[in-house]
Structure 1
Amino acid sequence: MFANTVQSSLLSLFSSTGSDPLQLFYQHVDKDLPEDSFIHLLNDTTNEPTPSPPRKLIHSILDVEDTHHSARKKTLCQTVLHIQSPTIRSTYIRCPARSSGSKRNVLGLKHPWINLQVRNLGHDWAFEVGVVDNMNTPGIMRFSTFQKEIAVKATHDPPLLVVPLRFPVEDSNPLTYWSTISIDLSSVIRQYQYTAPNMLERPGEPSEAHESRRFPLPNSRYASTDYVQVYANCRLRRIWFSEERPSSSLPWEFQLYGTVTP
């Protein structure tokens, strides 16, 4: 997708305020839960336009705990992407869509930093990144708020690295529900080699058969990103890749601006 193009030092993959925010993304929802599982563009402050029936917006735990006036000051008066589902992994957006047949559909982004502007809804949330090392060995990094400790699932194809994720603001009265999550993929990929693999053994299964299902782990040298997949439950404003950690010198459109109330 981007492998054969000149990649600028900062590349935006998703912006909720663009003319066609999901143009590059595949969407998947849990069709067995039409009321609770959906993906919807709305204004973060007003929650409008409301989703069409029978869909019902999830009530943010944080909104309920705050007073109405206080809660409004912590939102964005902008269009954002709302992703919700009680079954987190069944509802997501992905860029690019999965490969079909012999065609390998990948991003090919070489930037080591992934950055997401996301709203904490007070419910479990996850996202994952497909990566490749310098020997073209693939791996999946899955970051989630419900994961307790880092682990490597070596029998997953490609090998899966699960990483605990915490929102930067854990105060009982945060200034905003929104955070910029920035992750250095070139640093996280080293955990494939530093973390003992979880072999996912099944009771009564011969150890030899189990060992034969092990897949090669990526080494410690990050090369590129194949895909990005964002699951429920969150609100999303932007996803971008960068060569370095974001700083205060970011373009104004990458900054977070809260709602102004009298």
Structure 2
Amino acid sequence: MFRNTYQSGLLSILFSIGSKPLQIWDKTTKNGYVKRVTDDDIQSLVLEIFGANVSTTFISCPLDAKKTLGIKLPFFVMVVKNLSRNFTFEVQVIDDRNIKRRFRASNFQSTTRVKPFICTMPMRLDEGWNQVQFNLAEFTKKAYGTNYVETLRVQVHANCRLRRIYFSETLYSEEELPSEYKLYLPMKKSLELQNNSISSSAFNSLQSTNSSVKTD
């Protein structure tokens, strides 16, 4: 979708108060819903994803499953509200070995697991609104010893409220962000994925599994 687009600074793929926030997203709902609601804390429209089972209620981008995002910017940022229920999201990337890898973070998982094609990890969100910052290039290098090339897909599951999802070429402070990217509410930068979520034991197990990954 964005492979042939000049990518610099910030690239937004979801904004809850836009005219069509899910224009490039597909949604799946079973025993749940995806709808816009007014959040009392920020007094503004947000996207709520709610379901009895996180695996059956989610949104995914791009809309067409045969297409890919083609976003090369290495930082994934999500402004999300903790609803104190099970919540998970997933980012699929491709590396310089031309292998697709998925990174999945969940607030109901306690340990990190690294397998050849998927890395699952625990996520801790503070109460209220959080800013999730995910260094995709660093995680690809740490988990698989390869280089991040681009993001292919993003999938966000129940249960959460979303304000914005975007990619950036670097991490910006709140003061550096354009006004339309600010929440104007004290936000906690949660989900410290950059350095310490993948344990050394996970990397030890990775060394044995990664050798079996075919690169052709």
Q: Same fold (TM over 0.5)?
A: yes
For 1:203, the equivalent position in structure 2 comes to none
Given the alignment, which residue of 92, 98, 119 partners 1:161? 119
Larger radius of gyration: 1
Given the alignment, which residue of 180, 187, 207 partners 2:131? 180
Cα distance between partner residues in 2 of 1:246 and 1:179: 15
Given the alignment, which residue of 32, 39, 42 partners 1:44? 39
Cα distance between partner residues in 2 of 1:125 and 1:186: 23
In the TM superposition, what is the alpha-carbon distance from 1:257 to its structure 2 partner? 2.1
- Deviations along 1:169-200, whole A, 9 cap, x unmatched? 3xxxx6xx10111110111113433xxxxxxx
- Deviations along 1:4-37, whole A, 9 cap, x unmatched? 111122101100010110101000011xx2xxx1
Cα distance between partner residues in 2 of 1:98 and 1:129: 16
The aligned amino acid for 2:124 is: R
Unaligned runs of 5+ in 2: 187-216
Give TM-score scaled by structure 1 length: 0.68
Q: Alpha carbons of 1:23 and 1:98: their partners in 2 closer, same or farther (altered >3 Å)?
A: closer
For 2:176, the equivalent position in structure 1 comes to 249
In the TM superposition, what is the alpha-carbon distance from 1:246 to its structure 2 partner? 2.3
- Deviations along 1:78-125, whole A, 9 cap, x unmatched? 1000101121011001001353xxxx4100000110000000101111
Cα distance between partner residues in 2 of 1:98 and 1:12: 18
In the TM superposition, what is the alpha-carbon distance from 1:137 to its structure 2 partner? 1.1
1:18-57 aligned within 5 A: 18-30=18-30, 33=31, 37-45=32-40
Cα distance between partner residues in 2 of 1:4 and 1:236: 27
Given the alignment, which residue of 44, 67, 84 partners 1:105? 67
Cα distance between partner residues in 2 of 1:28 and 1:238: 19
Greater percentage in strand? 2
The aligned amino acid for 1:256 is: L
Give TM-score scaled by structure 2 length: 0.81
For 1:127, the equivalent position in structure 2 comes to 89
Unaligned runs of 5+ in 1: 46-74, 194-218
Identical aligned pairs, as a percentage?
Answer: 37
Q: Which runs of 4+ in 1 moved over 3 A?
A: none
Contact 1:26 1:96 in 2 (8 A): yes
Cα distance between partner residues in 2 of 1:41 and 1:246: 27
1:1-262 aligned within 5 A: 1-30=1-30, 33=31, 37-45=32-40, 75-97=41-63, 99=65, 104-154=66-116, 159-167=117-125, 169=126, 177-193=128-144, 219-247=145-173, 248-258=175-185
What do you get for the CA RMSD once the two structures are aligned? 1.5
Cα distance between partner residues in 2 of 1:133 and 1:153: 15
Cα distance between partner residues in 2 of 1:88 and 1:227: 18
Contact 1:182 1:246 in 2 (8 A): no
In the TM superposition, what is the alpha-carbon distance from 1:237 to its structure 2 partner? 0.4
The aligned amino acid for 1:225 is: T
Count residues with an aligned counterpart.
Answer: 185
Cα distance between partner residues in 2 of 1:40 and 1:112: 29
Contact 1:29 1:92 in 2 (8 A): yes
The aligned amino acid for 2:132 is: I
Cα distance between partner residues in 1 of 2:146 and 2:110: 23
Cα distance between partner residues in 2 of 1:191 and 1:85: 33
The aligned amino acid for 1:184 is: N
Cα distance between partner residues in 2 of 1:79 and 1:88: 22
